[in-house]
Structure formats: structure tokens, C-alpha cells
Structure 1
Amino acid sequence: MAGMMVMFIFFHWARFLFKRYQLRRGSSTSFLRVSVGISRRARRLLLRKVPGFTSVGHALVFLGYLATSITVTFVNIDWSSLNNWAKRLGWIAASNIALVTFLSLKNTPLAFLAGYSYERLNILHQVIGYATVTYTLIHAVVYIQAWHQTHSLKQLTERNQVMGIVAGWAMLIILATALLLRKLRYEVFYIIHIVMYILILITVGMHRPLISTRTLVIIIFTASIWVADRILRFLKISLFGLGNTATITPLPHGGTRIVLRKSSRFAVPGSHCFLWIPGIRMAETHPFTVVSSSPLEFVIAARDGFTRDLHEFALKNPGRSLRASIDGPYGAAFHMTGVTKVLFIAGGSGASFSLGVAVDLVRKLGDSGSTTVEIIWVVKEQETIQWYANELEILNSTPIVTLRLHYTRHSSPSSLNTPISLPLPDTKRDSLSLNETALPVSATDSDEGDIEKHPEKASHSTPSIFMKPGRPDIAAVIRETVDKADTHDRIAVAACGPDSLMEVTRKTVAQCIRPDGPSLELYCEQFGW
């Protein structure tokens, strides 16, 4: 696995340097044309979805890990005794504990070295966690069978073996809660997960207490990197908690705006921080996407647990400030150097990423005509766009930005085809209405109440943002963007939203990557793969 990490680091930096070189020299040389063709064919294949995995690339990573584990499991073993195989299984389980811990680190070095922050490594963390439990169980079963053959089952009562049994049960508890509680009660799962993990480190160390066995060395290393990461996170919360407060404001349809008094100079829109508000939940921190960094702002959709309690507090105490702090920021950087067109695709609260990054981008670009920005945002209720009124005002007043907004659910009969009024500049409103009507819509969506087909219903309205009912045809939008682009253009597609939206975006981008077409980059802001 270390070799696979080195490979990812190499390809990350090789691709980064190649892009820099390509921007300076262009694609006129035969070497660059051949290299670009090979790279695009590979990416076209690796981005495709396969059953059970997000893409071919992710499947290959899993198969690489699986092949490595199976090889180490059976190679160079003295099969004269089952004890030898049981020891190998235990050694692999201990090594996996170290690996699964490394992949869970919030301050992982892979964020800088390979461009993969911890949240993008989470699914691999889960897979290796399941493998650790599996190897531990097989390790125990094989040892019991070996001792049964030699009539040595009494060894199970020895202190070090009892510690191993405790570690095994702790792993089974983690497995059970991961399968049963993780999606239903994440806070409960997380507490159990941490407590059982600490118990595993202690009991595995006591299971093999001799340095000569090397298992203890693995456990000491694992504990060291985990504690170091926790200390660093604690220091961040302590530092940013000095004199820091969060102003809490309720938003319609279950939204809450959080504005912090102090921020990290490393926080940028699109990154995320773990928010700590002890007045809501004393012992919990939760990750949220940064919408704005000056001041540090989050927009949070209420679901359950912490977000529900936060919104209920905001409704009862609008505008009140509470003591707060952050741990972060985290998340891999989104590079747009030399990009001629950026297409943001957002679903629901995914706009925290898309609109935040878009505003940051247009501020850096100014009125430059070298880059254009197009934003597609799909929400359930029209009123949800009020969550991001400030961002929409900035984007709507920028000539290089095209906004396309859709809603999929009517909040009330009176809201049908009613434009949403925001404090937006007059100069951009008419163009926004025209841009909105040009967006392809899926054939399955209803045209009932379409503003384009019934303009008389909107003629009496004040200037505002017009939204189109129904889901947009994301695949058609991406294809249209690529078809209209020049061969030398560089297009970036950034998506954040539900799994179905991400799947369509990945699939379509993969299909649109062509050796003789424009450069096409994909960035998916998603927890895990």
C-alpha cells in the first residue's frame, strides 16, 4: 500500500507539472500531443462507473489492495504448522490497524503530497477497516484450530490471549455499529468507534507486549500518529476559540447561517472546517463547507442531531452569538489556473461549495474575459435560494457569470412561477431571465407553470431571479458546453450534491473526454469517493 501511495504522489505531481509546462509551451509539439492523447484516453476509462464502485479508477485501487493482501497472506509461509499462518494473519491485521489509522488522519500528509484530503480517503478507510476485522477473525479461528489439534486450548485463558479476545470483540462492536448506526445515529456511532478504537490499541499492545514480536512497534507507531493528529486538532480549536463567537441566524426551510468573529487565514471558500459550538453540543464538532472566508461563514441545512438543535436554537434566538471555534480548514485545493470555462453543478446545500468557490473565483478574475463561469443549481423549494442571497447578488452582477436555477417542488400554490426577489442589481436581471430559459430540461419533467411558456404570470413581478421548474438535463448541459468549446479551451466541471447528480456528472464528463477535444477537468466535492 505504501507503494501505491508513492505512485499516486508521483502521478499527482507529474500531472501538475505537466499542466504548468503545457500552459507555457502550448500543445504544438508532437510530444505534448501524444502525452495529452494518452492521458485523456486513460482518464476517459478511469472515470467510467463500474458496478459496485464510483469509477474504474476506484475499482483498481480496491483490487490493488486486495491483490496485495492476498499475496502477503499466502506467500513465504511454513505450512508445517497452522500456527505460522495464524501469526501471518495477525501480523497483517496489525498492519491494517496502522493503515486504517493513517487514512483517518484529518491532518494527513496526503492532502499536500497527493491532493487527497481525508474525506476523499474515507471509503478506503472503511474498506480496510472491514478487512482488518476479517483478518482478525480468521486469525483467531486458525489459532483455535491449531491449538485444538495440539490439545493446547488452555492457552486461551492466558492473560495476553484474553487481551486479544477483548480486541476482537471491540472490532466486532465497531463493525456492528458501522452497519447499523452509522447512517441513523452518527454521533452515537462515532463515540463508540473512538472508545473501541482506543481499547483495541491498548489490548493489542497487551496481546503482543514484546518489542521483539514487532506487533508492539506497529501499535506504538499507530498510537503516536493518532495522538499527534488529535493534539494538533485540539490546538487549532483552542487557538481559534480565544475570543471567538458565532452569530446564529435562522433561514427559511430549515437553513441556518453561522458567521464567526475570527477565522483562519488558510480558510477559503470550498474548504471545510469542523465547527464547535459548546452552547449547542459541548463534546461534538461537525464539518461544514466554508461559504465565505471574510468573515468566516457557513450555511447549514437542518437534518437531525446537531444541525436540528442548531436550527431550533436559531429560531428561538435569532441573531444571538455563542462561543465557538473551528478545527480546520480541510479539503484539497481546487486549481483553476488557465481554465477558460468553469461549470459549477450544485444540488441543494451543495451550493455552499459551488457558490462560495464561484464568488471567490470571480473576485480574483475581476471583469477579465478570459474565463467564463456558468452555475447550475437545483433546489427543492424556490425559497431556498434566499440562503445564499449575498452570493447570488455578487454573481448576478458579474458579466462573466451565467446563473441557471431550478426548483423541483412547489412550496405552495401561490408560489407557482413566482420569481424570487433578492437585492440584485438591475443590470443583470434581464440577462439572467434569458439565460435561464435556454437550459435543457429532462423530458420527464413537467412543463406545468413554466415561466417561459406562460410569461403573463411573471409580467407583473418586480425585478428578481427567475427559476425554472423541473430538473435540468445535466448530461445535455455538459455535452453542449464541450461541443461549443474550442480545441484549445480548458474546461473545469465542479459538482457538489446528491449521489445521483454526481453519478450523472462523472459519467457524462468521462464520455466527453476526447484526445482531439478541449481539456476537461472534473472535481467532485463529496464525502468519500
Structure 2
Amino acid sequence: MQYQPRSIPIINKALPPNQVSLLVLAFLALNIFYNLYLIPFSLPYLFVFADRCGLIFSANLPLLYLLAAKSQPIKFLTGYSYECLNIFHRRVGELLCIEALLHFLGMMFVWYGMLRHLGFTLAHFLLNRLAGLGLGTFIAYQLLYFTSLRSFRQQCYEIFLASHIFLQAAGLALLFFHYHTSQPYVAISLAIFLTDRLVFRLWLKSSSHPATLTVLEDDETVLLSSNWDISKHRSTFLPKSMTHGWKPNDHIFLTIPQLSTKHTLQSHPFTIFSAAPIEHLVNEPDQQSGHAWFSLLIRAQYDSGFTRILLDYARMHRSTRIRLDGPYGSSNALDILSSSETSIVVAGGSGIAVAYPLLWALLHPTSSTSSDIEVGTSPSLAKRNNVKLLWIIHSASHRTWLPEDKLKELQTWGLEFLITPPTGEIGRPDVNSILNQWVSVQGTGVVVSGPDGLVRDVRNICAAMVRRGEDVKMQVEKFGW
């Protein structure tokens, strides 16, 4: 179930692990059943199938928006944060596009086979209020899908963000007036979207801080740093913002209004590079709150876009003001590592931003005393000493991303690490041999973060170990979404 097949040939479409594929196929099969159940398969009743596709489209809308929400109840039910569920959000979105296409084609066949003979021209049919609103909804969601493709997101992330807001607002409005049976589903979807965006992201989980910018040795990476006193004033039920701290492996959405006017409305996801804060003696009323030391490792991508603009800005400015939306994430990775006899973290390049907070939480001598700031650790962590790091770097200059003093500190606490020679000079290391030497018969937890190729290799190495009967648990943590 953990095995990840190769990408689909020709189109080079990456496939998820088998367990995810089976769940997606089961969901698609359920929708196909609803599409075809008791449908009369004859040309005069083609409109019934087309109408059913429209109903399936509307019924899946709330699920689409629920899976996209950053603050969602699914995390409390499953323990998986929204970024782990994003693959299901994309599959639901693709299903909706197919349902919309089938609905559109079915109605076109209805016009061609029936209404055309009654004197309805194509223009008359499409400009009809009912059909016109449906056509507008169809175009909005098809454009929403194409602008969400990974290739488009990577090259035009800012356009993706803006179009995502505009197109889904337009699509919901057009669908609401298109047909009355869709209105309850549109209302639920809109409520989910507004609650997530306005109540949680722009109010409860938003905070503003001064920050310093440092261009690192490779001249392509920015270290963004900030610090603040942790607030003790928080509700048990309401979500916490960054002013209350964060957990290892959490991420945030970063906004820097000073870059330009358009960047005021943009937010970009980054994994928190610094260790999660630990607040001591929380039961003592005369003690001060803890302090948060926050940093992000931001590597410039492509020739334009937010990261490149930020790098150019950092070369001329040492400070700025940032707005943080978060934290988000789950403790699955830390739970797997902390419950295993041997803990292995594999980082590829800037995936060290994921690895370092996990290693710090696993090894820090006082991490087990934390109670108020939920760092996801357990008392057993203080007794652990079999923690290993494999860091695969592309260039020698990337070593500076994790300062030598921090690495030695982790080593003093018990970390065993291997930093491979730069892959740009000697090629990729034999990850299979390294992991097989490190695995423990008493139980091993493996967490990997890095490029897709590395993630697939590590996932399949662990799947092979499980197939041999070894006790290996594995978790993938993506760096960037």
C-alpha cells in the first residue's frame, strides 16, 4: 500500500502511493454509480443523464471547499492537516470538471437531437437565461482547473492565487442562479469559504511582526527571521495564531506588503525552519511567557515571482514587516518518529527546513517538559538516542543553510548524521543502502522531505522493507505546496 508507482508515461503524471489511489478509485466508483443508477440508456432520455451529472456536480461542491479549507474539521477527525488532504481536493476538482463537461455535452446533444428540430437555434439556446448561466459556470470551473495545474502554479503562482479567488466566486454566483436545486450546496460551499478565509485566516490566525532579511552564501536563498513574546491569552476552543507559538513541522502563509501593492493580497506557504518554542513553568503565575524565535528558509525560484522579488528586495533591505497566517500542520511525522526505536529523517536540499524542527523536538533535553505549547512531544523523547539524519545537498554552499553550531548542538544531544557530497558534483547517493544499514529490527520511523524523485525512492525503499516483514513506518512531509 505504501508503494508509489512510476509516473504515467508521455504525460509524466505523478501517481500517489497505492493506498491513496485505491481510496480515490473508490470515491470515483461511488460517483459513477450515482451517475448511472436507474438511468434509461436511450437517446430521448439523454437529458436525464445530463441532469444527473449537474446534480452530482452540485452535491460534491461542499466537499471540494471543505478539503480546500485551511482550518477544517477533517483534521480533528483524522489527524491529517489540509496539505495532506490536498490530493483529494484536486481529485474532487477534476471530478467536478468532468461532471460539468458531461452535463454541457449532454445538453448540447439535447439541443441538437430535439430542440433544434423545434426551431431553437444554437445562439437562441445558449443565450437563454438558464443555459447562459450554466455555460458561464462551466467556463469558470474549467478555467479554475487549468489555472490550478502544477505547471501553471509553478510558473504563475500569483495569477493562480488571484484567479482562484475570482473564478470560484464567479462560479458560485452563476451556479446559484443557474438552477434552484443547486442553491443549498452553493450556500454551504460559500459559508465554508468565507468562514475559512475571513474568520480564521484573516482574523483568528493572522498576526503581524517585524522581521530581518539575510541573503545566504549561495546568493539565491533568503533567511527571514523574527521573534516575539509568546502570548498566554488564548481560548481552549478557538484556533491559535503564531503569537501563541507553533509545533514542530508546522507551516505558515507569508505576506509581505512592503514588496508592492499587489503583494498585500498574496500569501505564500513556507515550512517554519526554526525549532518550536517551549514554555517552561507554565503553572507558575509569576513567570513570564516564553519567547518565540522564528525563521524561514526561502530559496528563490525561477526568474520572477514572489521568491525572486523577495531575494532582490533582501539585497537592498535588511528589515521588513511580515504578516503570518498560521500555524498549520499536523503532528503525524513527529508521532511516528517518537514512537519508533530508530528515527530516520531524510532531507533533500531545502527539505532541511522540515527536518531541523523535527530533530530538535526529538533530541532537545527539555522538550518532554513542555505542556502549554503543544509541540507534539512525549516524555519518552528524553530517553531517546537513536536519531539519524540523511541530508542530500545539491551544492556545497547549501551546507550553510543549517549553521554548523546548530548541527553540532544536535550531535551533542545524540544525533547521527550523514551529509552527502554535493549531487551536482558526484551524482545522487545510494539511499537504499544507507537506509537498509540504519533500519532497526525493533521498529523504525522514517520521515522524508525533498524533491519528488527522492520522496518516491524513499517511499518505495520503505515499502520493500515492509514487504520483507520489517517494522517500518513512513511519512512524507512536503516542502512547499
- With the length of structure 2 as denominator, give the TM-score of the two structures: 0.80
Match of 1:395 in 2: 410
Following superposition, the deviation at residue 282 of structure 1 comes to 1.9
Structure 2: distance between partners of 1:528 and 1:250: 20
- Write the distance in 1 (CA, Å) between the matches of 2:393 and 2:106: 54
Deviations 1:374-406 (A, max 9, x none): 1110112222121221531321322x2112112
Q: Deviations over 1:159-213 (max 9, x none)?
A: 23211111111123223333462231121122112211110000000101x3xx2
Identify the range of structure 1 (304-313 vs 220-229) with the bigger mean alpha-carbon deviation: 304-313
Q: List per-residue Cα deviations over 1:437-490 (Å, max 9, x = no partner).
A: xxxxxxxx85xxxxxxxxxxxxxxxxxxxxxxx5331111121222xx24xx23
1:425 alignment counterpart: none
> What secondary structure does 1:282 align onto?
helix
Give yes or no for contact 1:342–1:371 (8 Å, CA) kept in 2.
no
Matched, 1:90 2:58: no
The structure 2 residue matched to 1:282, chosen from 239, 264, 284, is 264
CA contact (8 A) 1:119 1:527 kept: no
Mapped partners of 1:526, 1:161: distance in 2: 42
Unaligned runs of 5+ in 2: 9-14, 229-241, 277-291, 369-379
Which of 81, 104, 128 is equivalent to 1:158? 128
- Alignment of 1:498 with 2:425, yes or no, is no
The answer to whether the 8 Å contact 1:272/1:287 transfers is yes
Partner of 1:23: none
Aligned CA distance change for structure 1 residues 220 and 527 (closer, same or farther; 3 Å): farther
Q: 1:144 to 1:261 in 2, by over 3 A?
A: same
> Structure 1: which amino acid aligns with 2:211?
A
Query: Any idea what the Cα deviations from partners look like across 1:36-95, whole Å, max 9, x if unmatched?
Result: xxxxxxxxxx01123442221122022112211211110023556222222111001112
* Counterpart position of 1:438: none
Verify: 1:270 aligned to 2:249, yes or no.
Answer: yes
Question: Partners in 2 of 1:527 and 1:132 — Cα distance?
Answer: 28
Match of 2:156 in 1: 185
CA distance in 2, matches of 1:310, 1:248: 9
Q: Does residue 37 of structure 2 align to residue 75 of structure 1? A: yes
CA distance in 2, matches of 1:503, 1:167: 37
Give, in whole Å, the separation in 2 of the partners of 1:496 and 1:504: 11
| Residue 521, structure 1, aligned to residue 478, structure 2 | no
Amino acid at match of 1:391: K
Are the equivalent residues in 1 in contact too, given 2:338–2:381 (CA < 8 A)? Answer: no
CA, structure 1 residues 97+522, in 2 after alignment: closer, same or farther (shift >3 Å)?
A: same
Following the alignment from structure 1 to structure 2, what is the Cα–Cα distance between the partners of residues 142 and 345?
A: 50
Q: Is the 8 A contact 2:363 2:384 kept in 1?
A: no
Per the alignment, do residues 193 and 161 of structure 1 end up closer, same or farther by CA in structure 2, a change over 3 Å counting? same
1:406 aligns with 2:416: no
> Per the alignment, in what secondary structure is the counterpart of residue 4 of structure 2?
coil
- For residues 94-122 of structure 1, give each alpha carbon's deviation from its aligned partner in whole angstroms, at most 9, with x where no partner exists: 12322221211111222221122211222
Q: Which amino acid counterpart does residue 422 of structure 2 have in structure 1?
A: T
1:169 aligned onto 2:139: yes
2:455 is aligned with what amino acid? M
8 Å contact from structure 1 (residues 121, 528) kept in 2:
no
Q: Does 1:57 align with 2:23?
A: no
Q: For the Cα contact (< 8 Å) 2:393–2:422, is it kept in 1?
A: yes
Structure 2 equivalent of residue 198 of structure 1: 169
Of 117, 133, 158 in structure 1, the residue corresponding to residue 97 of structure 2 is 133
- Please name the residue that 2:280 is paired with: none
**CA 1:472–1:515 in structure 2 vs 1: closer, same or farther (change >3 Å)?**
closer
SS in 1 for 2:153: coil
- The offset of 1:409, in angstroms, is 5.4
Q: Partners in 2 of 1:282 and 1:261 — Cα distance? A: 22
- Residue in structure 2 matched with residue 362 of structure 1 by the alignment: 363
Aligned position for 1:296: 294
Instruction: Give yes or no for the alignment of 1:377 onto 2:391.
Output: yes
Counterpart amino acid of 2:189?
Answer: T
The one-letter code of the counterpart of 1:75 is: Y
Q: 1:515, CA displacement in angstroms?
A: 7.6
Supply the AA of the counterpart residue of 2:464: Q
| Cα distance, 1:341 vs structure 2 | 1.3
CA contact (8 A) 1:343 1:375 kept: yes
> 1:310 is aligned with what amino acid?
L
AA at the equivalent of 2:157: Y
Question: Would the alpha carbon gap of residues 471 and 176 (structure 1) be closer, same or farther in structure 2, given more than 3 Å must change?
Answer: closer
Q: 2:21 is paired with a residue of what secondary structure?
A: helix
- Number of the residue aligned with 2:12: none
Give the fraction of aligned pairs with identical amino acids, expressed as a percent. 26
Q: Hey, what's the Cα distance between the residues in 1 that align with 2:316 and 2:308?
A: 13
Query: TM-score normalised to the size of structure 1?
Result: 0.73
Amino acid at match of 1:171: Y
Deviation of 1:225 (Å): 0.6
| Counterpart position of 2:223 | 257
